[in-house]
Amino acid sequence: MGSSLLPTIVVASLLLYALATPANTRGLPLWCAAVIGSKCFACWDARRILRGRIGPWRAYRLERWLILLNAIDGAAWGALAWTGFDPGSTANSILVVAVLSGIVGNAMSMLSPVLPVFAIFCVFELGALSLKAWSLDELQFRTLSLAVVVYFFSLLSQGRNSARAARAAIQLKFDNIGLIRQLRIESDKTRHALHAAEQANLAKSRFLAAASHDLRQPIHAQGLFLEVLARSPLNDSQRTVLASARAASEASAGMLHTLLDFSRIEAGVIEAQLEGFALQPLLAKLESELAPQANAKGLVYRTRDSGLALRSDRGLLELIVRNLVTNAVRYTERGGVLVACRKRAGHAVLEVWDSGIGIAPEQQEEIFREFHQLGNPERDRQKGLGLGLSIARGLAQLLGHELTVASRPGRGSVFRLAVPLAAMPALSGAPLAAPALDAPARRALPLRVLVIDDDAIVRISMQELLAGWGCDCQVADGIEPALALAATWLPDMIISDYRLREQRTGAEAIAMLRAQAGHAIPALLITGDTAPARLREARASGVPLLHKPTSPEQLYRSMEQVRGRGHHANTDSANELHCH
């Protein structure tokens, strides 16, 4: 309404000037005042209505009110045909008809959304023009009268289409509002569900970390006690029992180390050390260690010799292939396993083939999820924890190597790992694995060792084991007892559990003991934690880190290394990862 006020005033004023004759000196000014007054009132009324709340309960009354106002407005405009129309002037006749036709056409855009309002405006405006033309009793004007009637019905048809389009647009707007509201509700539900899933996942991780830590303590002590027992005089029967006990302990440790590998990947504390190296020694090492497992199941284990040199992290690549081969052996009951490497388009593809149960297409991505296993509803521990492939995928992503699988159910599977080629094998480098030290081969370690651990059974087992290695070992269950002991008995080495009582850490204990001594005492941290945050904290301390359960061989080697290198000792990512 507001946008039509000024044009109405201008058009009415111009018509008053152009159509003025001695015969309409009184009627035309009254018409002009009526048109402008009607439009001004309509604008004022529209603003009044919009200031209030327009609810559905007002629709009927508003429609009737608008019909009344526009009937008056249409009649005011139609009065132009009676006050300003001059049959004797062609120019006059054309101007009046053109103006009234234009006004009613313009009204369509404003009034047609409510069709009865538009219709009543047309009836009064065009009706006045049609009646005036008919009343002149001439063929030409009566023809004009009928043409106005036809024009009226044409406008109504167009107005109906316009009303439908406007109603559809309004309905679409409300539909969109409803859709947005529904999407917002669904988004809130999804956000709440995601939050709940994240909380459940955090709870799972906390539970696994806590359970893993609590399980590692006694298994760690058990391994140390079994080592002490192995050094004592035993008969053949007792040694057989001891061998079985050590096998059971190693199996438990193996599962816990698998959880540790997974937690270390989640924590992001593994750093790849890329180098060039020959592949064949790695393949030979894996065959010598894993072929006996395949032979025990009646499977054929084959490795194709390779002269290729790869660029990767030697230890991490070994762990990936080891997990793939172990997985192949576990899920193959007849036939065999083949490990091969072929050169393709500037890179090498390591392949592990098996003739096992195969993997359905819909499961070929799921198998890389943690704790996901095929064909093991009873959770047979001989089939592992369902983490091997998840660890392999995580390490492959860390190294930037693509790991894929192709499989046919009942026919077997092939896992492919794409690894960049090296220009030539490295001439030197760390060995793939340090040889295990047998008890008779160990040299005595004449060291004063302070062990800090809040678990009594771990303290006892460590004291027994280290005493057997020639160490003078003292133990403390916390930081304050350790500081008091070190004030009169200065240790040559500190071995501390990472998590101590009262939310304190072994890294804190080592720092305080070094500050008290005035120099950097060689030290080792041992942790049973697998929580990602704890692993990151322990690594950030800069002290060499071992993970419970720690084998006596690994502990002995680490003590020799730290003794030789002092506080600068550190461990690389490959040594920190457990290789079965």
Instruction: Look up residue 257 and give its two tokens.
Output: 């180390």
In order, the DSSP letters of 492-554 are SEEEEESB-GGG-BHHHHHHHHHHHHTS---EEEEE----HHHHHHHHHT-S-EEESSPPHHH
DSSP state of 112: T
CA distance 228 to 461: 8
* Residue located via tokens 């322990």: 538
CA distance 238 to 215: 26
Instruction: Give the type of residue at 9.
Output: I
Q: What is the dihedral of CA 11, 12, 16, 18, to 10 degrees?
A: 20
Q: Spell out the per-residue pLDDT of the chain, length 580, in tens.
A: 788 889 889 999 999 888 888 888 888 999 999 999 999 999 999 998 888 888 888 888 999 999 999 999 999 999 998 988 888 888 888 999 999 998 998 888 888 889 999 999 999 999 999 999 999 888 988 999 999 999 999 999 999 999 999 889 989 998 999 899 999 999 999 989 888 888 876 776 666 666 656 666 677 777 777 777 777 788 877 777 777 776 666 656 655 555 555 555 555 556 677 888 889 988 988 888 788 888 888 899 999 988 888 988 887 888 888 888 988 888 888 899 999 999 887 789 999 999 988 888 776 677 766 544 554 444 444 444 456 687 788 888 888 888 888 888 888 889 999 999 887 544 444 444 433 334 445 678 889 999 999 888 888 888 888 988 889 999 999 999 999 999 999 999 999 988 888 888 888 999 999 999 999 899 998 887 766 666 677 777 788 888 877 888 888 888 988 887 653 433 333 344 333 3
Name 373's bridge partners: none
CA distance 202 to 575: 28
CA distance 233 to 231: 7
Asked if residues 413 and 405 have their Cβ atoms less than 8 Å apart, the reply is yes
* Residue located via tokens 């023009």: 129
Asked if residues 461 and 503 have their Cβ atoms less than 8 Å apart, the reply is no
Cis amide bond preceding 549, omega within 30: yes
> Helix or strand or coil: residue 440?
helix
* Residue located via tokens 């896992």: 415
- Name the residue among 43, 148, 21 with its Cα closest to residue 87: 21
Name 449's bridge partners: 473, 493
CB-based contacts of 289-296 (< 8 A; 24+ apart in sequence)? 290/322, 290/325, 290/326, 290/329, 293/326, 293/329, 294/329, 294/336, 294/337
